[in-house]
Each structure stands twice: as C-alpha cells, then as structure tokens.
C-alpha cells in the first residue's frame, strides 16, 4: 500500500495478504493509484503451461469440460513456516486456484475441500493438513479436481490435464535430462525437477521480463491483483469447506 501511495510499479508474490479484507484493500489502493501491479503467479509463464493454454484457447480440444490438477511438493517446509503460512490452501493451493481460473476462463460457484495430515503429526498440531482433495464447480458446470500433497518422494510433481469435447491436453513434469536407463530391473528416466526453483526457472525469467515490459511499455500485466484476490477467495472458501466439512457456495 505504501508502494501504491508512492506511485511505484509493484511486483507482489502470492498471496496478496493472508486475509481477504486486506487483499481487497490493497487492490483498491492499486486501482486508486493507477500503478502497475503484478502478482507472482509464475506458473502462467511456464513454457509447458503457457503452450497448453495457447493451444486450448485455439480450440484444439474443443470446449473444456474437466480440469485435473496434481500439485505436490517434494517435502514439507518447517513447521515454524507452516504456522505463519495461512494454511495449506492459502500457501500452496493458491497457485492451483489460479490455474483453475486461468485455464478454464471461468469462475467458481462452489468448492468442496477435504484433507488429512499424513506425513508429520506436527503439522496437525499446528492446525494444518498436508494433503488435500478439492473439487470446484464452475459457472458453466465445468468440474475441477485438485489433489495436493506436501510430500512426493520423487520430486516436485506439477501436472494438470484438461478434458475437452474433442480431446485432452496434458501438462507433464519437466525433468533434468533425457537419459533413459534400461537394466535388468526396469527402464527408467529422471525424476521430475526437484522443486520450484528448478521447475519454474524459465517461468520466473519470463515472468520478470513481462513485468519489466509492463512497466516500461505500459502493457497490461497478465497476472493482476484482482487475480490474486480471486485466488485468495477460493483459498478462504476451501479452508472453510475443509473446517466445516461442507460444500461452500461462492458469491456471484
């Protein structure tokens, strides 16, 4: 808010804030100041995700009907971090909620979330969970399922797939090399890239180039603070759904 007041261009990592109220106040401050403000949803700039989106928008698989998102970290952060993270939905799934909105170009009407703590009891003691299963219905009746975990022994698992009326587009994991080893046991390839710094290296570079482009050339940013607010709304609704064990309707 100070940056907006000072008329500075803003690059803000997710989430905009841990409370929806303050996030909305930030959005208003940005709008009032008329400054450039970009949210760090770097996944939209990932070469694979971006290519999929482009092909989907070009009609390659017709109308999208279902979106399945798999989003798993290689390991959980320290519990001290988790305690101040806002919970798994605001900390981790906020990216997946943005993927839902970006890929389907649609808004949620209801969300149903559940989760468990299966990897470390200390996470449960901190009031959080480490794996979740979320279902979102969109205005146009499309269905989205998101599954996440704080632990995937095989690395950073970042996939999604869109089922459309004429086919399916899948975004697969990236891996460090294309070596294939065939032995007496199996035929094996590299694990996925280890974590977000490796997987989204190209995305981060493209993202920040876009921000500079927006600032210098007055181009509209592709990930606005409104996108950040919308994703946070979904994160709050998912948290509520999980806590109260019920489907939550979203205001229109």
By CB under 8 A, the residues from 93 to 112 that bind a copy of itself are 110, 112
Say whether residue 185 binds a copy of itself (CB under 8 A).
yes
Q: Which of 139, 166, 194, 243 binds a copy of itself (CB under 8 A)?
A: 166
φ/ψ (deg, to 5) at 182: -110, 120
Say whether residue 239 binds a copy of itself (CB under 8 A).
no
Q: Which of 58, 78, 186, 220 binds a copy of itself (CB under 8 A)?
A: 186
Cβ-in-10-Å burial (0-12, 13-18, 19+) of 111 comes to: buried
169's tokens:
């587009």
Of 3 and 66, nearer to a copy of itself (C-beta) is: 66
Q: Which of 8, 24, 83, 151 binds a copy of itself (CB under 8 A)?
A: 151
Binding to a copy of itself (CB under 8 A): which residues in 12-71? 47-48, 51-52, 55, 60-63, 65-66, 68, 70
Q: Which of 117, 126, 221, 235 binds a copy of itself (CB under 8 A)?
A: 117
Say whether residue 172 binds a copy of itself (CB under 8 A).
yes
Say whether residue 132 binds a copy of itself (CB under 8 A).
yes
DSSP 104-146: HT--EEEEEEEEE--S-HHHHHTT--SEEEEEEEETTS-EEEE
Say whether residue 90 binds a copy of itself (CB under 8 A).
no
> In whole angstroms, what is the distance from residue 225 CA to residue 241 CA?
24
Q: Using alpha carbons, select from 207, 206, 216, 204 the residue that is nearest to residue 9.
A: 216
Tokens 């970006």 — which residue?
Answer: 102
């Amino acid at each position: 808010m100070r940056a907006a007041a000072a008329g500075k261009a803003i690059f803000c990592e997710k989430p905009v804030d841990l409370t929806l109220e303050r996030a909305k106040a930030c959005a208003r401050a940005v709008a009032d100041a008329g400054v450039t403000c970009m949210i760090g949803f770097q996944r939209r700039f990932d070469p694979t995700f971006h290519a999929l989106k482009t092909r989907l928008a070009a009609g390659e698989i017709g109308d999208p009907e279902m979106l399945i998102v798999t989003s798993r970290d290689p390991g959980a952060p320290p519990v001290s971090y988790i305690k101040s993270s806002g919970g798994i939905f605001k900390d981790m799934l906020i990216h997946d909620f943005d993927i839902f909105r970006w890929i389907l170009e649609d808004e949620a009407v209801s969300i149903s979330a559940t989760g468990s703590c299966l990897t470390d009891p200390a996470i449960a003691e901190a009031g959080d969970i480490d794996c979740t299963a979320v279902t979102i219905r969109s205005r146009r009746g499309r269905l989205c399922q998101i599954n996440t975990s704080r632990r995937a022994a095989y690395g950073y698992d970042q996939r999604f797939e869109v089922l459309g009326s004429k086919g399916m587009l899948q975004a697969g994991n990236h891996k460090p090399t294309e070596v294939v080893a065939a032995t007496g046991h199996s035929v094996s390839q590299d694990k996925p890239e280890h974590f977000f710094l490796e997987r989204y290296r190209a995305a981060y570079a493209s993202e920040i180039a876009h921000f500079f482009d927006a600032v210098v050339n007055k181009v509209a940013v592709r990930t606005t603070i409104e996108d950040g607010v919308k994703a946070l709304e979904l994160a709050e609704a998912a948290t509520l759904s999980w806590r109260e064990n019920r489907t939550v309707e979203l205001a229109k």
